[in-house]
Amino acid sequence: MLDTGARLSEITLLDLDHVDLRRDLVLVRGKGDRQRAIPFGERTGQALTRYLRVRARHVGARLPALFLAERGSVRLEPNGVKIMLRRRGERAGISRMHAHRLRHTLAHEWQLAGGNETDLMAIMGWQSAEMLRRYGKAAAAVRAQHSHRTLNLGNRV
């Protein structure tokens, strides 16, 4: 979720045939029933490959759903992901961990790295630049601080 910025509902609705490991992307259906392709990185590709090997031995392996619940032959539901993220966050010392936090983190890191804003909008499934501004407020402050240091503006009075 961190690598793609996909929404919780988009991730839990993924089917096996929505993942393209050759091209490193997932095809999600987002808000407004709009479909979009989201790229993912090498580490996510490796994790998905490992997951698919384990999934093949799951009792529900015949189901089309990409992510399966730990018990039974059912798709992993959004609430199951919420619980998993909260528990793993607590173990890692991250309070109030939730799926949308990962989406915000991707947008923040993308902007800090100087990523193209139009590409970010496409990946996140945003139709309006307002969402870009909303998600970008925190990154703007960090970028300004970094630029201030980089340009050595702090040495002036």
List the beta strands (DSSP E) in 10-143: 19-20, 25-29, 35-39
Query: pTM here?
Result: 0.84
> What does the pLDDT profile of the chain (157 residues) look like in tens digits?
999 999 999 999 999 999 999 999 999 999 889 999 999 999 999 999 999 999 999 999 999 999 999 988 999 999 999 999 999 999 999 999 999 999 999 998 998 888 999 999 999 999 999 988 888 776 777 777 777 777 665 565 5
pLDDT at 137: 76
Per the CB < 8 A criterion, the answer to whether 60 and 52 are in contact is no
pLDDT at 2: 95
pLDDT at 4: 96
Whole-angstrom CA distances from 117 to 3, 99, 103, 111, 126 are 16, 22, 15, 7, 11
pLDDT at 152: 67
- Sorted by where each begins, the domain ranges of the chain are 8-155
Helix H or strand E segment including 146: helix 129-150
pLDDT at 111: 87
pLDDT at 39: 97
CATH class of 8-155: mainly alpha
